[in-house]
Amino acid sequence: MRFNVIDIHPHVIASDTSRYPKAPLGGHQSDWSAARPVSYEQLLTDMTDAGVDKAAIVQASTCYGHDNSYVLDAVAAHPDVFTAVGSVDILAEDAVSKIDHWMKKGMTGLRLFTTGSTMPGQATWFTDPRTFRAWAYAEEIGLPVCMQMTQDGLTDLQAIVARFPKIRLVLDHLARPDLSGGPDFPNAAKLFALADNPNIYLKFTIRAVEALKAANASASDFFPLLVSRFGASRIAWGSNHPASPGGLKHLIETAQAALASVSEKDKAWIFGGTAETIYPSLASTSAKEARHG
């Protein structure tokens, strides 16, 4: 069975700032979204060039904040290719109604931005009791929640998992683990400790490749270990295009090279199958039939 090649972490930026005004989290726009904007039309071209079939577009929080209008207009224009991972202020009293609002427009995933280029450090607001209504609702309806965070926030995340044990989580950039310390990666212990929770998925991006390079560590040591702990069916590839430079084709080729020591079956999950599990709207007809057959 052939899986789609799916990117679960591209971003899109509109050229029309009147229709899509900028309102970045952190109060200032990220450098990448100003310097390397990619419209959803350009993303389609980039995907064709790179051999990517479908994409779960992640809200560019450092450009648009919680206004998901552009990413959802992309889905409306190309529902057969795109789905949307949107942003909502889950501290707000109307968080649940906002989730409903955006889901009616095509949002199939939620992203919480707790650290990043416009918000350095690791925030802890996602454990505030005011967020519990939104967490409970996401758990109830099976809405996957992406966490943009560092490994410093994983202890707090464990508290959320304990309170909402059925919540489905996707850790952006593998939660940016510390990959120093040798081939057993002892400084990434907090990440590996999550492996026993079947509802936690990992998003593999070029950030992991960069972290390995910074630690002078080997991809051939790290990725087989990661797959052995979590299973390839809980790891999905995301490009981080265009936030990470080089272009979509370069980013997928870098990911493919990093996974050279991983089996072809596991690569099929990482580059497509797992994404179809997290975002069923992106699944091919054959994959849907296989799951329900």
**pTM of the entire predicted model:** 0.95
Pick the CATH number of 6-292 from 3.20.20.70, 3.20.20.140, 3.30.565.10, 3.30.70.2170: 3.20.20.140
pLDDT digits (tens, 9 = 90+) for 175-223: 999 999 999 999 999 999 999 999 999 999 999 999 999 999 999 999 9
For residue range 241-283, list pLDDT tens digits in order: 999 999 999 999 999 999 999 999 999 999 999 999 999 999 9
Q: What is the pLDDT of residues 81-114, one digit of tens each?
A: 999 999 999 999 999 999 999 999 999 999 999 9
Sequence-separated (6 or more) residues with CB below 8 Å from residue 115: 121, 122, 123, 148, 149, 150, 153
Mean of pLDDT values over 160-173: 98
Gap between the Cα atoms of 280 and 203, Å rounded = 16
Contacts of 219 (CB under 8 A, 6+ apart): 209, 212, 257, 258, 259, 260, 261
Give dist(CA 286, CA 154) in Å, integer: 36
Q: Are 206 and 248 in contact (CB under 8 A)?
A: no
- 89-93: long-range contacts, CB 8 A cutoff, minimum separation 24: 90/126, 90/131, 90/134, 90/135, 91/125, 91/128, 91/130, 91/131
Is 70 exceeded by the pLDDT of residue 289?
no
Domain spans, the chain = 6-292
45-65 tens-digit pLDDT:
999 999 999 999 999 999 999
Cis upstream peptide for 242 (omega within 30°): yes
Mean pLDDT of 74-85: 98
